[in-house]
């Protein structure tokens, strides 16, 4: 087993939504076949997303390349066959029929890994596409249950200026993105 062989990054296509399971299967198959020296790491690029459930902010991790798993490995010998044979693996990205899997270029790897690091660093990226004039419902705070219209959006502070009718009079409120939801 020559350790000097250069490892490259490959993309394995997996059944979408089953990436974590497939990653575990690949890891155990590699171990079972004694091929751990050929594989450096297996990654599923994920991002943190925040949602409001019952007035509480919860964070969830979701794959930002659904159906893809990154593997840094020296794909020689039995390894490609072992990986392809894993339950849930569709195949390697870039491989022509019966051809060899194509490695990612270093620039692509750095971009993807950079994106992974960047996402790990950004503690809170709430992506809520509100628009001015949109009707919303307040779901948190003293005005819970009130309906209003978005007058202004401050994306940096993640705040909305909402016009709410209170006792028949329009009242401007400043609410965070997490205190409102789109009217259904």
Place of tokens 């010998």: 77
Domains of the chain: 8-121 (3.30.70.940), 135-182 (2.30.30.30)
Q: How far apart, in whole angstroms, are the C-alpha atoms of residue 16 and residue 112?
A: 18
Specify the pLDDT at position 45: 82
Left if phi > 0, otherwise alpha if psi is -120 to 50, otherwise beta: which for 67?
left
Specify the pLDDT at position 5: 55
Full-prediction pTM beyond 0.85? Answer: no
For the chain, residues with pLDDT lower than 50 are 1-4
What digits encode the pLDDT tens for the residues 125-174? 555 568 889 999 988 888 888 899 999 988 777 888 999 988 888 889 99
3-state helix, strand, coil in the chain (%, to 5): 25, 40, 40
Specify the pLDDT at position 184: 67
């Amino acid at each position: 087993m020559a350790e000097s062989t250069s490892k490259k990054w490959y993309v394995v296509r997996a059944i979408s939504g089953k990436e974590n399971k497939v990653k575990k299967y690949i890891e155990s198959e590699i171990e079972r076949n004694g091929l751990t020296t050929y594989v450096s790491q297996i990654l599923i690029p994920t991002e943190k997303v925040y949602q409001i459930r019952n007035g509480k902010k919860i964070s969830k991790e979701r794959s930002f390349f659904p159906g893809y798993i990154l593997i840094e490995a020296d794909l020689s010998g039995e390894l490609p066959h072992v990986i392809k044979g894993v339950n849930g693996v569709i195949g390697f990205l870039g491989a022509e029929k019966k051809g060899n899997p194509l490695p990612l270029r270093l620039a692509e790897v750095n971009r993807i890994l950079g994106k992974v690091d960047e996402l790990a660093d950004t503690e809170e990226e709430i992506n809520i596409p509100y628009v001015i004039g949109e009707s919303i419902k307040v779901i948190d705070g003293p005005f819970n249950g009130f309906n209003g219209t978005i007058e202004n959006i401050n994306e940096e502070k993640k705040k909305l200026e909402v016009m709410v009718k209170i006792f028949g009079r329009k009242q401007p409120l400043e609410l965070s993105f997490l205190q409102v939801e789109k009217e259904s």
